[in-house]
Homo-oligomer: A and B are copies of this chain.
């Protein structure tokens, strides 16, 4: 058995979960192994009858950084999460999570059913000492860089201490993924006038001010400022975070459709658009969700990375790379230490 700490941890990749199927996952693994020479070794989890030929075709047969773990079942997007966990015990997703639990892998990457992965991660790995609920983090573009949104949907009924934990989790993920040493953390709210916001935010605000030194708290942040260069980590509950994130995707799609329609509505506009197509491609690349292909479920005893169901090989490759960065940074060990410090501080009587 291999321990999960440090650079020797393996990456367990659920090969069966995504919309595009195992072909795309194997292609992603090939890309990742070629592009990143220092990548942690990979275990592809899935049906070996399907995987072996794909691996052979990809020329990865004798790659000593790749192994296969055979499973006989697949959790689909239509499966109800808790049902799926109960009934499909030999599914690629469940087995991949179990490899992390047993220490044979340090991180699991899956583009399968989100609800099932959150449930499998939470129930099999359990939350870390000192944390009651896991949180989903996402990397989003903004003026001058990127920010981490946490929680993007794992915990829709958050308590103030959960949001403080989100601030700690998000800060560490920001350090690993964005390389920001001392990330500024903002608390999502609705205006700074008196009587604004809600009780959850008011109480969280007080707690965040008490964990100074652990969290670099920059104060409340309004919707107006999310995409401006204000903070590196945006903290909110999973209800607000999921609605924001998905509505942004919906808005960008709408905006892009409108622009495309207008640009194609007459020949001169269409010619102009052709001449400036480099700009549209650059914009697309800048806001491309494939860039950081995965959203980690943080706060568990083991690293879990969710990639979008519709991820193509490039997005899955990015997620595998992110998984490797998380392992090398030994992220969870640092998180555990900071969570303990934060909880200790909050357990003391407030000086305010």
- Let me know if A142 and B223 touch, CB within 8 A: no
Chain A interface helix/strand/loop/mixed: helix
- Let me know if A276 and B283 touch, CB within 8 A: no
Is A244 engaged at the interface, CB distance under 8 Å to the other chain?
yes
- Let me know if A273 and B279 touch, CB within 8 A: yes
Contact of A275 among B198, B223, B269 (CB under 8 A): B269
Q: Which chain B residue has the least Cβ–Cβ distance from A141?
A: B254
**Among residues 65 to 90 in chain A, which have CB atoms less than 8 Å away from a CB atom of chain B?**
80-82
Q: Which chain B residue has the least Cβ–Cβ distance from A115?
A: B193
Contact of A252 among B191, B244, B247, B251 (CB under 8 A): B251
- Let me know if B286 and A258 touch, CB within 8 A: yes
Q: Which chain B residue has the least Cβ–Cβ distance from A156?
A: B198
**Among residues 182 to 233 in chain A, which have CB atoms less than 8 Å away from a CB atom of chain B?**
188-191, 193-199, 222-228
Q: Which chain B residue has the least Cβ–Cβ distance from A266?
A: B278
Is A238 engaged at the interface, CB distance under 8 Å to the other chain?
yes
A341 vs B259: C-alpha distance when bound (angstroms): 44
**Among residues 160 to 176 in chain A, which have CB atoms less than 8 Å away from a CB atom of chain B?**
none
Shortest CB–CB separation between residue A241 and chain B, in angstroms? Answer: 9
- Let me know if A250 and B225 touch, CB within 8 A: yes
- Let me know if A254 and B198 touch, CB within 8 A: no
Shortest CB–CB separation between residue A113 and chain B, in angstroms? Answer: 9
**Among residues 266 to 297 in chain A, which have CB atoms less than 8 Å away from a CB atom of chain B?**
266, 268-280, 282-283, 286-287
Is A64 engaged at the interface, CB distance under 8 Å to the other chain?
no
Per-residue CB contact flags for chain A residues 227-261 toward chain B (1 = under 8 Å, else 0) read 11000000010111011111111111111011100
- Let me know if B250 and A227 touch, CB within 8 A: yes
- Let me know if B242 and A190 touch, CB within 8 A: yes
A231 vs B270: C-alpha distance when bound (angstroms): 32
Shortest CB–CB separation between residue A197 and chain B, in angstroms? Answer: 6
Contact of A263 among B255, B265, B276 (CB under 8 A): B276
Q: Which chain B residue has the least Cβ–Cβ distance from A238?
A: B190
- Let me know if B263 and A279 touch, CB within 8 A: yes
- Let me know if B278 and A193 touch, CB within 8 A: no
- Let me know if B268 and A276 touch, CB within 8 A: yes
Is A9 engaged at the interface, CB distance under 8 Å to the other chain?
no
- Chain B residues contacting A157 (CB-CB under 8 Å) are 198-199
- Chain B residues contacting A81 (CB-CB under 8 Å) are 193-195
Q: Which chain B residue has the least Cβ–Cβ distance from A79?
A: B193
Shortest CB–CB separation between residue A138 and chain B, in angstroms? Answer: 12
A266 vs B282: C-alpha distance when bound (angstroms): 13
Is A262 engaged at the interface, CB distance under 8 Å to the other chain?
yes
Q: Which chain B residue has the least Cβ–Cβ distance from A155?
A: B198
Q: Which chain B residue has the least Cβ–Cβ distance from A270?
A: B276
Q: Which chain B residue has the least Cβ–Cβ distance from A259?
A: B283
The 10 closest A-B pairs by CB, nearest first: A223-B246, A272-B275, A272-B276, A262-B279, A227-B254, A223-B247, A190-B242, A269-B276, A272-B272, A227-B250
Question: Which of A's residues lie within 8 Å of B, judged by CB?
Answer: 80-82, 115, 141-143, 153, 156-157, 188-191, 193-199, 222-228, 236, 238-240, 242-255, 257-259, 262-263, 265-266, 268-280, 282-283, 286-287
What 14 additional pairs, Cβ within 8 angstroms, besides A81-B193, A223-B249, A224-B249? A80-B193, A142-B254, A143-B254, A153-B191, A198-B239, A223-B248, A227-B250, A247-B247, A248-B248, A265-B279, A269-B278, A271-B276, A272-B274, A275-B275
